[in-house]
Amino acid sequence: MRAAHTVQQVRDAEADLMRGLPEGALMQRAATGLATAIADLLGATYGARVLLLVGGGDNGGDALWAGAVLARRGASVEAVLLSEHAHAEGLAALRARGGRVVTATESSRPDVVVDGVVGIGGRPGLRPEAVEALAQHPGVPVVAVDVPSGVDVDSGRVDGDHVRADLTVTFGTHKVAHLVDPAAEAAGVVHLVDLGLDLPDAAVTALQATDVAALLPRPGGVDHKYTRGVVGVRAGSDAYPGAAVLCTAGAATGLAGMVRYAGAAADAVRAAHPEVVVGGGRVQAWVVGSGGDADAEQALADALADGVPTVVDADALQHVRTHGGELVLTPHAGELARMLDLERAEVEADGLAVARRAAATYGATVLLKGRHTLVARPDGAVRVTTSGVPWLAVAGAGDVLAGIIGSLLAGGLDPFDAASVGSWLHGAAATLVSDGGPLRAGAVADAVPTTVRRLLL
């Protein structure tokens, strides 16, 4: 499990660790890890040109000490000091190894820019002199120290100017801004340097492949189709029969023992999925709403009457009220905005807070779709999905996702686990089938069995 801790949690853990270490030892660990990551990015250190943008905190100190390490290895290192309070020991070390202090306009065109402007304690946004220094060398790779300067570390928000890094080297643990968009998009690739911190549980986490493998329901030797779970699908309509086909495709990936379909697109479902049973019967979970059009309100009422866990998607979302049952709501930003009477831009700017608000308001697990999908529980716990590729932004992908989550609910997972495991599998299957290029939503469903098989090897 990848955990994302808050600034205060990190500071408390660092303070505890430093009590047993010589002064400056923790910064040396961080700087050495940072220098190693920069060297790996450069490929060859000797003769490389490195530009440090240095603020006044420990973040700037990490950059200066890392610069000293790189200078010792033969790099040409220049530092632009953006504060009168640059870390004195780090600056002395850099100068002792041949590094130079320059102004932004004097700096040579570097091979890499190191963003040591603002650390995890900084406020969102950048001062004009930092913006100007960053603008001097467009197109040069940027390595952020701990977090991209200017983002809100604990929320993932970005307000005003901020660094857009190609690589972020962070220390001790991931922070919320590394996982939650839009800040996570600004972080680029994130590399973690272990500092040996003793950290508490984190409220924001991201499942990894081993976590998903451990959570997946697996059939035993005496199981049959009914004991493995039956998932019912109330999706599609006369206007949108394809949604029913795609939703049942997601449900019929083998994660549950059986799929029942009840809706207006029965002929299309029979033709595409002969293994799906059309008609009534008992189920352990429902999936409702994908392409439901005018049928969605009644479909939701019928599903909720059964009192089983239910995935509510697309057209059914507008009919959800606070329910308190085992619901998984799967809106995109526009749908969630309507559910909370917000503007879409507000949801996209502050997804973590809005997803938590929605989960608390509706008493349900809320899956907010996006580049990094958020799965929020009413108690505030959030899982972030980091699997997937941009090609997954295609019509019908959400219908498949709803079906996958429904099959996991029917298989016995609770709503939070079903939504987060289903989202991870959906992204991983898309990555597999995309292979770097375009994909179809139905192909994502087809790739789920292979994705699961590889997880369980």
Are 174 and 222 contained in the same domain?
no
User: At residue 81, does pLDDT exceed 90?
Assistant: yes
Q: Token digits for 183?
A: 């800040």
Q: Please give the pLDDT value at position 292.
A: 96
**Rounded mean pLDDT of 16-43?**
94
Are 379 and 413 contained in the same domain?
yes
In total, how many domains does the chain have? Answer: 2
**Rounded mean pLDDT of 59-77?**
97
Segment (H or E) for 101: strand 100-102
CATH code at position 183: 3.40.50.10260
Are 83 and 186 contained in the same domain?
yes
Of 152, 174, 199, the residue that ends a domain is: 199
**Rounded mean pLDDT of 43-54?**
97
Q: Please give the pLDDT value at position 233.
A: 98
Residue 415 main-chain phi, psi, to 5 deg: -55, -40
What pLDDT, in 10s, does the model give residues 180-189?
A: 999 999 999 9
**Rounded mean pLDDT of 119-143?**
93
Q: In the structure, what pLDDT confidence band is assigned to residue 28 with cuts at 50, 70 and 90?
A: very high
Distances (CA, A) of 160 to 36, 128, 369, 442: 31, 11, 24, 40
Give dist(CA 359, CA 379) in Å, integer.
8
Query: Whole-prediction pTM value?
Result: 0.95
**Rounded mean pLDDT of 216-230?**
94
Distances (CA, A) of 149 to 89, 114, 145, 156: 22, 11, 8, 12
Q: Please give the pLDDT value at position 121.
A: 85
Report the chain's mean pLDDT, rounded to a whole number: 96
Q: Token digits for 140?
A: 């040069």
Range 355-360, long-range pairs (CB < 8 A, 24+ positions): 355/382, 356/380, 356/382, 358/329, 358/331
Are 195 and 219 contained in the same domain?
no
Instruction: Estimate to the nearest angstrom the gap between the alpha carbon of 287 and the chain centroid.
Output: 24
Type of residue at 92: A
101 located within any domain: yes
Residue 189 main-chain phi, psi, to 5 deg: -75, 135
174 located within any domain: yes
Structural domain boundaries enclosing 14: 2-199
Q: Please give the pLDDT value at position 119.
A: 87
Give dist(CA 101, CA 107) in Å, integer.
9
Are 193 and 230 contained in the same domain?
no
204 located within any domain: no
DSSP, res 116: E
Give dist(CA 59, CA 37) in Å, integer.
16
Are 183 and 228 contained in the same domain?
no
48 located within any domain: yes
Distances (CA, A) of 410 to 96, 199, 209, 258, 373: 65, 35, 21, 9, 22
Of 157, 174, 199, the residue that ends a domain is: 199
Q: Please give the pLDDT value at position 324.
A: 67
Strands 167-171 and 382-384: unpaired
CATH code at position 342: 3.40.1190.20
